[in-house]
Amino acid sequence: MPHSFDWVCKDVVKKLQGKDLCPVKRLSDATKFRQFEILQKTAQSLFWKTEDIPIGYSLLQILEPNFPVPEPEVSAPIPLKCTVSQKLKGHLGAKVVAEGGASAEFAHSAGYNIEVQCTSIPASKLEILQNRKLVDKEPSFVKDCRIGATDLYVVTEAFEVTKGTVLEDSSSVNLQGKVLTPQFGKVQAQGEWQRERKDSVPILKGAVVAYKKKQLVIENDTCAILLSAKAKKKTLLGIPRMQPRFLSGSQYFQPKSYSLEIEISMFLLDCISMGMDLYFQHLQNEISEKTWKLAILSKDVQEVVFSSLLPMLRDKEILYDLMIMLELGDLGHMHGPGGVILDELRKDPWIGLKDLILYLLHALMVLSDTQLNLLALSMEKRLLLQQRELVKSILQQNFKYPWNIPFTLQPELLAPLQGEGLAITYELLKECGLKMELDNPRSTWDLEAKMPMAALYGSLSCLQQLVEA
């Protein structure tokens, strides 16, 4: 659906305007972000957010029983409503239609009408849970997180739907005139063609649409919740984490025992001390290191990963399921191309291959469903190299600017992208939040585009390396 559960949750977060409030990404996860649910996050990049992944445990399940549980505070119901409709009418371009032309009308409408209620535990009440002993000295999921140097969080505030509702989305396309029909060998057809589509998705009572979290720290056989966002600490003490550090545009590795947030803070201080012009260079270094590691894999492994990812790009849920399995250390059974990748990991359990696949999956998760479909088309049409160079040039020009600014696309980079290839590329960029017009090289950099553009650059770079295998 063009306007999905993900869209509803993002819109709800905008309306609520709560600090540190996160939207739930998938309807299938809507009951996994309730209060006290434990989430994990693995540091994959300094430049885009990673997913909060529910591990299937509640904090109350792992603490010793027979202790006081803080009483949650429940807000009054909050009604939220949104209706979006648009209608576009115009003439289709000469490449799409036969001589004589055709007109098209596109109509789309979507909306939601929900009521949510906030269930929260204020920081003062969370004190009751501090330094409580664990039922097991080290639960199984904690061992997995320790191996993967993963940070854990606990949901402390959740906005739940109080009444079941239905998300509805409808669209229609009406073509009139003399049109080409590629599905019938580019036969010309005179007349009118219509298509209507209606979708509905039920959102059940109790579904969580937004949440807040606090970091969980496990030390020895006790756990604590970091009540202040400024109090940064590694979730699991004892094993150093390997994180990249950048100096003078080059990269080397040293053991670090910081959380991702601390690493980001140190990284930003490096940028300020060395000049913000190097900011893009750090992104370039991170991605270059990943593509170099991909390049040293065997050609057969690269081909398996590439050919398996191609069909998966058209179904984000499958990509997400594979990412969850890898994050939770589960190399169990999975049908289709995802299973092929898991089989490859079983053959060679080298953790580097798993980390490389996870890096790419996390970058892809930042992109929209539309972008993933466009990436699949780009892979089939071998457009990745040209797109990567175009995206690189845009980031290189604008990455350092913390404001919106006009810029011009480089003609020599646009030249290889003609016709359908250019249209696909423009849609990829527009979906990141850039303001662009197909017939105008002048565009506008939007600060909100920085993270999706960085993730797009990372995705294109890794996929292009796999193409070259």
pLDDT 10s digits, 439-468: 677 888 888 889 999 999 999 999 999 988
| b/e burial code for range 239-276 (CB count within 10 A of at least 16 → b) | eebebbebeeeeeeeeebebbbeebeebbeebbeebee
What is the spatial distance between Cα 212 and Cα 35, in angstroms, rounded to a whole number? 9
The winner for highest mean pLDDT among 54-68, 259-273, 303-317, 349-363 is 303-317
- Angle at the Cα of 185 from the Cα atoms of 181 and 189, rounded to 5 degrees: 35
Confidence of residue 103 (pLDDT cuts 50, 70, 90): low
Task: Please state the three-class secondary structure of 87-130 as a single string.
Answer: EEEEECCCCCEEEEEEEEEEEEEEEEEEEEEEEECCHHHHHHHC
What pLDDT, in 10s, does the model give residues 390-420? Answer: 999 999 988 888 888 888 888 888 888 888 8
pTM as predicted: 0.73
Check if the beta carbon of residue 145 is closer than 8 Å to that of residue 40: yes
- Ramachandran quadrant class, 426 (left: phi over 0; alpha: psi -120 to 50; beta: rest): alpha
φ and ψ of 369, to 5 deg: -55, -40
Distance (Å, whole) CA 293 – CA 247: 20
| Distance separating alpha carbons of residues 454 and 47, to the nearest angstrom | 7
pLDDT top residue among 308 and 181: 308
Q: What's the confidence (pLDDT) of residue 183?
A: 39
Provide the β-strand partners of residue 222.
133, 219
Residues 211 and 183 sit within 8 Å (Cβ to Cβ): no
Q: Higher confidence at residue 57 or residue 168?
A: 57
Give me the chain's average pLDDT, please: 79
Q: How many CA atoms lie within 13 A of 365 on its CB side?
A: 24
Give me 407's structure tokens: 């810029």
d(CA 186, CA 22): 47
Place of tokens 């199984």: 140
Mind spelling out the 3-state secondary structure of 102-114?
Answer: EEEEEEEEEEEEE
